[in-house]
Structures are given as C-alpha cells and as structure tokens.
Amino acid sequence: MNKLEQYIKENGKVINGEILKVDTFLNHQVDPALMKEIGENFYNYFKKYPINKVVTIETSGIAPALMCAACFGVPMVFIKKAVPSTMSDAYHAEVFSFTKNKTYHISVSKEFLSENDHILFIDDFLANGEAFLGVENICKEAKATIEGVGIVIDKAFQKGHQKIIDKGYDLCSLAQIAALDENGVHFLKEQ
C-alpha cells in the first residue's frame, strides 16, 4: 500500500534498529483517513472469504480492525489484555512479547467467539508472531475458523511472517519491512 509506505517513510522513527515508532498515525495519534483506506485494502483482499467477525487485540489493532469490520458490515471483537471483573466465562491464552520481554494474558468472553465464527485477525504490527499464536489458541478452543491474517506493518525480518505462512494462513501485510537501520526504513517491495 503506497500511501502507508509514504506515511512510514515520512513519519516513522527507527529505534534501536528493531523498533519502528509510528505514534503520529497508528500507535498514539490515529489518522482516520489512513485507517479507512487500510480497512478498505483488507476488505478487498479478504472479501472472498465468508468472514463474519473481525478480531484484534487491544489497543492499537482496534482502529484498523474497526475500519475493516465496517467494510464487511460485521462486528469487530477486541481481545482484552486484562480480565475485567465483569467477564465471567472466557477463553484465555498466554502471550510472550519479545519486544517487551514479558508474558501477558489475553482473554475474550465466550459470548463473542464460537464455532460459527469465521475470523479475520487484524493487527497493527507483526514482529515474532506471538500475539497471533495466542489468538490462534483461543480460536482453536472456541472452534472458530481463522480465514486470514491482516497486518498493517509487517517486520518481515523477524520470525512472525514466516511462522504464519508456514502454518498455512492467508497473510496480507500492507507494508512489509525488510530492514530498519540508521538510514531509515527499507521495504521488502520498494514501489
């Protein structure tokens, strides 16, 4: 997606050669027009599947997931990182974050995920794919079908990209980063 790559080139900041800071349009301040286009791009790619729910993990996946769900005309469900006291019956999984070097807990109410669901998973970043593995475990437990995985920024030089492909999922990444270094961002498919 050209426009997204342009945003990343103009606004992204490389930190430690491994982390890309995109606080101006995705991770803190959010650009609604860009999110709308991102949602439309995912819709155009995945519309061949019988998707009835778009799923993400809070927080930064919510904006692109919501825009995509609006295109499909289906609900968006965000998996929570804390267990609210009001959530009594839920699916749970553990996720290890290499970026943050800690394990966190994710959960979703059984009310919102079932064997009747055909899921499109959307997330803002793909690094090592650990968040996706947690979501996959939850979907397996709920007997829901994952029809595809949509990623806004895929750090293809880390392990997540290949992990998801090797598992046979249809992966659509709107920006694929080959490397981050002192010269900036290098995309896998320079356009």
Binding site for ligand G4P (CB under 6 A): 19-22, 27, 59-61, 97-100, 124-131, 155, 160
Structure tokens at 71: 């295109």
Is the CB of 89 or the CB of 100 nearer to ligand G4P?
100
What sign for the dihedral angle of Cα 69, 75, 79, 82?
positive
Q: What is the CA radius of gyration of the chain?
A: 16
Is the CB of 47 or the CB of 165 nearer to ligand G4P?
165
Q: How far is the CB of 47 from ligand G4P (least distance, A)?
A: 25
C-alpha closest to that of 149 among 1, 42, 47 = 42
Is the CB of 43 or the CB of 125 nearer to ligand G4P?
125
Q: How far is the CB of 25 from ligand G4P (least distance, A)?
A: 11
Cβ-count burial of 32 within 10 angstroms (0-12 exposed, 13-18 middle, 19+ buried)?
A: exposed
In angstroms, the CA 139 to CA 132 distance is 10
In angstroms, the CA 119 to CA 139 distance is 9
Q: How far is the CB of 29 from ligand G4P (least distance, A)?
A: 12
Q: How far is the CB of 97 from ligand G4P (least distance, A)?
A: 3
Is the CB of 124 or the CB of 147 nearer to ligand G4P?
124
Q: How far is the CB of 133 from ligand G4P (least distance, A)?
A: 8
Whether 79 contacts 107, CB under 8 Å: yes
Residue appearing with tokens 């800690």: 102
Is the CB of 27 or the CB of 176 nearer to ligand G4P?
27
